[in-house]
Amino acid sequence: MALNRDFIGRSFPPSEPYEVSRVKIREFADAIGDRNPVYRDREAAKAAGYPDVIAPPTFPIVVSLGNPGLADPDLGLNYAMVVHGEQRFEYTRPLRAGDVITCTSTITEIRSIGNNEKMVVETEIATVEGEPVCKSYNTIVERGA
């Protein structure tokens, strides 16, 4: 079944605040196999010019697609058939330990590609104080729609 085109341009309310911790940053770095000390050691991060450890560039995926609006049954997305199509990030500044962030997602594109449905979700990630951190662009594909 095709995704509901009425969702194109729809923005969802900001997510619940998420506190970025040193532990979560280290766990993520471990999961992706990145041993960079700026992700683990506060002193190494300070020596590199950061106030605390920073998160790997792909860390925002942890929070960027968690908006409950994407699970709206009216959208018609079958998560059992979803594969990751593409992902990229545009940074204003690195995400760092101690940041408390929210994500505001907008569906910017839905289109058919053969028997598949492609959906692009743009997510603005900012601190709870409103400071922009980065934008996430995620393309997901629902197979055999």
The single-letter code of the amino acid at 82 is: V
pTM of the full structure: 0.90
User: pLDDT value at position 71?
Assistant: 85
Specify the DSSP class assigned to residue 1: -
Distance in angstroms (rounded) separating the CA atoms of residues 88 and 39: 20
Q: Which residue has the higher pLDDT, 65 or 132?
A: 132
Through-space distance between the first and last CA atoms of the chain, rounded to whole angstroms:
5
Architecture of domain 5-20+55-143: Roll (3.10)
- Other CB atoms within a 10 A radius of the CB of residue 42 amount to 15
Distance in angstroms (rounded) separating the CA atoms of residues 139 and 108: 10
What average pLDDT does this structure show over 88-108? Answer: 97
Mean pLDDT of the chain: 94
- Of 77, 59, 91, 74, nearest to 119 by C-alpha is 77
Token readout for 63 is 């929070």
User: pLDDT value at position 145?
Assistant: 63
pLDDT digits (tens, 9 = 90+) for 36-79: 999 999 999 999 999 999 999 999 998 887 777 788 999 999 98
